[in-house]
Amino acid sequence: MMNSTEASYFILTAYSDTGVLKNLYFLIILALYFCIIGANVLLIVVICVNRSLHEPMYLFLCSLFVNELYGSTGLFPFLLVQILSDIHTVSAPLCFLQVYSVYTYVCVEFFNLAVMSYDRYLAICYPLQYNTRMTSNKAYFLIAVSWLLPFLAIVVLISLSVSLTLCGNILNTVYCGNFSIVKLACSDTRVNNIYGLFYTVISIIIPLLLILYTYMRILRVCFSGSKQTRQKALSTCTPHLASLLNFFFGGFFQILQSRFDMSGVPNMLRVLLSLYFLTCQPLFTPVLYGLKMSKIRIICKCLLYGEV
């Protein structure tokens, strides 16, 4: 029997003995991390320094890019250390800190994507009233809520997990996950399960319902509107939909991995699937918006090449 507040470390068993390949893996992860930092920082700077981009849509994008930096920083330095290490252990406080970082990243991402879908809904369904319905103050308020609610909700989630009595300290993952820790408990986890359900409804189900509702309304306007309306909807919604689908795709595999027995799946494939939405989303999102949104693309060219 071992109390989680007294445990000094957890053992991560999902790392295989890569031998000479570990240096190659380290360089790949490091290059990916640098690309994520460069792409997201560039777009954050572009939005912040150009007054023409101080509009709700771009403010929401800036919040999204900041979250990509936050989430990747909660994972990549940890991965780099673990890849080079021969003993894959993590201290209990650092493990719970990583759980907090990863879970808040995921929750903020869902909230940001939901708020962005609401913004696109107003722009397409109420174009003449958009500036009065979506003011800068309202945009700042929605961004603040998108960040504050997840940070408060995860504090409760972590507090419940820390108080559990554990029967072991072995996690079959490459990074710390709350559900993996809860599965080690030999004390009553009913409160954790109930709050976990509540957290899932607040952070995933409600944003998902809002996204579905807004896109149903957008599609309705597109089918009944003019060709120009459909083209506007397509140009503004395509990056958001692609980012949303990519995030859900990665999240779906992570849920499968954490909730079901995946012992029949090759270890390397399980590792890649568990890391997908934490590694590909932070790079995919800025690249996608940088390529698809003409105002951002033009300003990036001016900054990088000194041309329009």
Per-residue pLDDT reduced to its tens digit, 236-270: 777 888 888 888 877 777 776 666 666 666 667 77
Distance, CA of 259 to CA of 267 (rounded, Å) = 16
Distance, CA of 100 to CA of 94 (rounded, Å) = 10
Is 90 exceeded by the pLDDT of residue 5? no
Angle between helices 267-292 and 22-49 (to 10 degrees): 30
pLDDT band at 308 (very low <50, low <70, confident <90, very high): very low
Quote the strand ranges of 102-156, DSSP E.
none
Paired sense of beta strands 170-171 and 9-12, if any = parallel
Which tokens in the block code for residue 301? 């060219």
Paired sense of beta strands 89-91 and 9-12, if any = antiparallel
Q: Which residue has the tokens 């023409």?
A: 52
Please say whether the beta carbons of 8 and 95 come within 8 A: no
The string of pLDDT tens digits covering residues 31-40 is 999 999 999 9
Mean pLDDT of the chain: 84
Is 70 exceeded by the pLDDT of residue 24? yes
Which tokens in the block code for residue 236? 């503004």
pLDDT band at 125 (very low <50, low <70, confident <90, very high): confident
List the one residue out of 88, 77, 106, 90 whose CA is nearest residue 255: 106
Q: What residues pair up with 297 in beta bridges, in sequence order?
A: none
pLDDT band at 6 (very low <50, low <70, confident <90, very high): low
pLDDT band at 304 (very low <50, low <70, confident <90, very high): low
Q: Domains in the chain, ordered, with CATH? A: 2-305 (1.20.1070.10)
Phi/psi at 107 (5° precision): -65, -45
The string of pLDDT tens digits covering residues 43-78 is 998 888 888 888 898 999 999 999 999 999 999 999
